[in-house]
């Protein structure tokens, strides 16, 4: 009975009064102003051009742009702005400016197609879009048009009012905490895209919990230099772009991700922390991938958004003993972060996604009986806290939320010290003769094979067994690997019901920008031709 609810073991976190009329930007800037770092600290660095924007300049640009958006473009509270940009230094400033005047930020993936953008517009009803010259042409026409953030005009919106006194006050556009602040589009690896509405209160909650882990980790001798390989339109990057300003971190922006480019940027800008998805870690441990670079500035990697295998962690520790590898777990519907590994002691818990952040409670629920389960038992993770999203698609009810508990859809367990382990998405489980097989476990095993560059496991329909574990494997160049050796490699290491029963060799595994395997696309690509 005492084990029905798991409480956070982290120090308590205090949030502002719920009815205080503040936006997440007011909150972020109030934390920042208490920082001991000078305003000359770089806020943003463009990895391609080397352009540095110090905090003093970031604040001026933010004020100037907010003024322009409010008084020239006449945007106001509850307007929705679509933001369709690759990671670049303008985006965090744009987010701060829109949020500060109560405009709802709706960031989308710049590689989406025209019809996908039409769907986003249908979901969130934007009046204006912010895009780049390479993405704008795909957008539908909006009432206030599209503004190019890589244009001289945008640069002047951020700088032209520098010498004005901009303490004009926000008047009716001052957001309240219960206002919707952002609509993020959840990954949709299996289903249709959904708009997840997050309030200023939700965002204040996650900034507070990110800050609490920075406090717990202890003060550093110099400001942290972060690089995100995660996109700014995904909840991971979106939240990080706000928390970095609150903590006065320096953020190195990489418009286009590539492993070599990332490692070069680490060397060049003295990057201390990188936020990334598992495929980047997998790439870093492959022999010959990183030896050419001086990565001595690197202190920690925060890895999240998809499962990371124990073998990859082991290989990483062996190759980079001085770098802390911390897994974090999160969901768009919980405004991002739910748990993380914190500090060298916790990072010994290989494979865990860490402990719950303060402010959050959790349950492990038996998917069949709905019983609440104790430590060590696997079930669906439910989470409750002030960061639970407000709703989907403006008017749809929160079907995932029951009595304020958000059902994550993930199969998880806690150990007896409060460490959380994520096995897989419940929906992705393969049912072999009634047994549950987690694809993630088999994928991690396959990835540890020296001749496997990448792998994914999906169900293959079978009359007798229901479904068979079916592996799609990308061979490493120059390696010889056949179906039988793949199956034997896995069979030696797992219970018989988990064996791979079929193999297909493919050129690549389709992945989302946050590193999740796009199983729907994979099924279409590999399975459909086999089954017709």
Per CB under 6 A, residues contacting ligand 4UU are: 186-187, 235-236, 304-307, 327-332, 336-337, 353, 408-410, 422, 425, 514
| Pair 233, 241: CB distance under 8 Å | no
Q: Report in angstroms how near the CB of residue 424 gets to ligand 4UU at its nearest.
A: 7
Q: Report in angstroms how near the CB of residue 430 gets to ligand 4UU at its nearest.
A: 16
Give the residue carrying structure tokens 């495929």: 279
Residue among 331 and 445 whose Cβ is closer to ligand 4UU: 331
Residue among 69 and 235 whose Cβ is closer to ligand 4UU: 235
Token pair recorded at residue 348: 């010994």
The DSSP secondary-structure symbol of 428 reads G
| The dihedral sign for the CA sequence 120, 209, 262, 254 | positive
Strand-strand pairing, 104-107 and 80-84: parallel
Nearest to 74 by CA among 140, 148, 127, 132: 127
Output the CA angle 417-240-213, nearest 5 degrees.
Answer: 35
Residue among 306 and 362 whose Cβ is closer to ligand 4UU: 306
Residue among 94 and 338 whose Cβ is closer to ligand 4UU: 338
Q: Report in angstroms how near the CB of residue 268 gets to ligand 4UU at its nearest.
A: 25
Residue among 235 and 282 whose Cβ is closer to ligand 4UU: 235
Q: Report in angstroms how near the CB of residue 393 gets to ligand 4UU at its nearest.
A: 15
Q: How many residues does the chain have?
A: 532
**Whole-angstrom distance, CA of residue 413 vs CA of residue 375:** 7
Q: Report in angstroms how near the CB of residue 328 gets to ligand 4UU at its nearest.
A: 3
Residue among 261 and 409 whose Cβ is closer to ligand 4UU: 409
Q: Report in angstroms how near the CB of residue 101 gets to ligand 4UU at its nearest.
A: 26
Give the residue carrying structure tokens 């520790």: 317
How big is the chain by its Cα radius of gyration, in Å? 23
Q: Report in angstroms how near the CB of residue 307 gets to ligand 4UU at its nearest.
A: 4
Q: Report in angstroms how near the CB of residue 312 gets to ligand 4UU at its nearest.
A: 12
Return the SS3 of 168. Answer: coil
Q: Report in angstroms how near the CB of residue 404 gets to ligand 4UU at its nearest.
A: 18
Residue among 96 and 301 whose Cβ is closer to ligand 4UU: 301
| Pair 455, 443: CB distance under 8 Å | yes
Q: Report in angstroms how near the CB of residue 409 gets to ligand 4UU at its nearest.
A: 6
Q: Report in angstroms how near the CB of residue 53 gets to ligand 4UU at its nearest.
A: 24
Residue among 325 and 504 whose Cβ is closer to ligand 4UU: 325
Return the SS3 of 526. Answer: helix
Phi, psi of 94, deg, nearest 5:
-65, -45
E-assigned strand segments in 41-179: 42-46, 52-54, 80-84, 104-107, 128-131, 146-148
Residue 484, CA distances (Å) to 455, 487, 501 in order: 15, 5, 10
Residue among 148 and 182 whose Cβ is closer to ligand 4UU: 182
Residue among 235 and 500 whose Cβ is closer to ligand 4UU: 235
Q: Is 419 exposed, middle or buried (0-12, 13-18, 19+ CB in 10 A)?
A: buried
Residue among 195 and 307 whose Cβ is closer to ligand 4UU: 307
Q: Work out the angle between the directed axes of helices 310-319 and 278-285 (0-180°, nearest 10).
A: 50
Query: Partners of 163 in the beta sheet?
Result: none
155-172 burial, b at 16+ Cβ within 10 Å, e below that, comes to eebbeebeeeeeeeebee
Residue among 236 and 382 whose Cβ is closer to ligand 4UU: 236
Order of strands, edge to edge, in the sheet holding 52-54? 52-54, 42-46, 250-253, 225-228, 273-276, 300-303, 324-331, 336-340, 355-356
Q: Report in angstroms how near the CB of residue 326 gets to ligand 4UU at its nearest.
A: 10
Q: Report in angstroms how near the CB of residue 528 gets to ligand 4UU at its nearest.
A: 25
CA 202 to chain centre: 16
**CA 303, 309, 313, 319: dihedral to nearest 10 degrees?**
-110
Residue among 341 and 500 whose Cβ is closer to ligand 4UU: 341
Q: Report in angstroms how near the CB of residue 411 gets to ligand 4UU at its nearest.
A: 9
Residue among 24 and 148 whose Cβ is closer to ligand 4UU: 24
Token pair recorded at residue 371: 């019983």
Nearest to 405 by CA among 382, 425, 428, 426: 382
**Whole-angstrom distance, CA of residue 328 vs CA of residue 342:** 9
**Whole-angstrom distance, CA of residue 67 vs CA of residue 79:** 15
**Whole-angstrom distance, CA of residue 127 vs CA of residue 143:** 5
């Amino acid at each position: 009975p005492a084990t029905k609810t798991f409480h956070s073991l982290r120090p308590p976190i205090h949030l502002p009064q719920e009815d205080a009329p503040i936006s997440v930007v007011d909150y972020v800037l109030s934390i920042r102003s208490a920082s001991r770092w000078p305003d000359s600290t770089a806020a943003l660095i463009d990895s391609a051009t080397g352009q540095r924007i110090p905090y003093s300049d970031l604040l001026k640009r933010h004020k100037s742009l907010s003024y322009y958006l409010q008084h020239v473009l006449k945007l106001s509270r509850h307007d929705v702005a679509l933001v369709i940009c690759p990671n670049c230094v303008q985006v965090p400033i744009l987010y701060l400016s829109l949020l500060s005047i109560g405009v709802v930020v709706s960031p989308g993936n710049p590689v989406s197609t025209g019809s996908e953008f039409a769907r986003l517009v249908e979901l969130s009803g934007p009046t204006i879009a912010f895009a780049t010259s390479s993405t704008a042409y795909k957008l539908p026409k909006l009432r206030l048009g599209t503004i190019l953030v890589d244009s001289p005009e945008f640069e002047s919106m951020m700088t032209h009012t520098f010498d004005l006194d901009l303490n004009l006050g926000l008047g009716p556009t001052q957001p309240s905490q219960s206002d919707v602040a952002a609509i993020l589009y959840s990954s949709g690896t299996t289903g249709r895209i959904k708009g997840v509405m997050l309030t200023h209160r939700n965002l204040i909650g996650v900034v507070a919990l990110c800050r609490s882990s920075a406090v717990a980790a202890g003060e550093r001798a110099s400001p942290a230099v972060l690089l995100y390989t995660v996109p700014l339109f995904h909840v991971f990057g979106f939240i990080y772009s706000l928390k970095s300003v609150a903590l006065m971190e320096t953020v190195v922006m990489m418009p286009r991700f590539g492993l070599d480019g990332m490692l070069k940027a680490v060397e060049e800008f003295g990057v201390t922390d990188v936020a990334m998805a598992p495929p980047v870690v997998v790439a870093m441990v492959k022999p010959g991938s990183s030896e050419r670079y001086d990565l001595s500035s690197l202190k920690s990697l925060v890895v999240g958004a998809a499962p990371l295998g124990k073998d990859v962690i082991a290989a990483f520790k062996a190759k980079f003993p001085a770098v802390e590898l911390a897994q974090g777990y999160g969901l768009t519907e919980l405004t991002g972060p739910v748990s993380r590994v914190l500090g060298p002691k916790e990072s010994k818990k290989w494979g865990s996604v860490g402990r719950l952040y303060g402010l959050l409670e959790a349950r492990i629920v038996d998917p069949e009986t709905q019983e609440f389960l104790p430590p060590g038992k696997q079930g669906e993770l439910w989470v409750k806290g002030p960061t639970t999203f407000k709703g989907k698609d403006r008017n749809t009810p929160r079907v995932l939320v029951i009595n304020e508990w958000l059902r994550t859809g993930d199969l998880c367990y806690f150990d007896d010290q409060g460490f959380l382990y994520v096995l897989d998405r419940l929906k992705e489980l393969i049912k072999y003769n009634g047994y549950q097989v987690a694809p993630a476990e088999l994928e991690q095993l396959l990835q540890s094979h020296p001749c496997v560059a990448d792998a994914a496991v999906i169900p293959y329909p079978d009359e007798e067994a229901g479904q068979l574990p079916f592996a799609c494997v990308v061979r490493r160049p120059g390696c010889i690997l056949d179906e039988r050796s793949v199956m034997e490699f896995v069979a030696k290491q797992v219970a018989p019901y988990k064996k791979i029963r079929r193999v297909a060799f493919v050129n690549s595994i389709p992945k989302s920008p946050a590193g999740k395997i796009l199983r729907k696309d994979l099924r279409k690509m590999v399975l459909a031709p086999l089954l017709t």
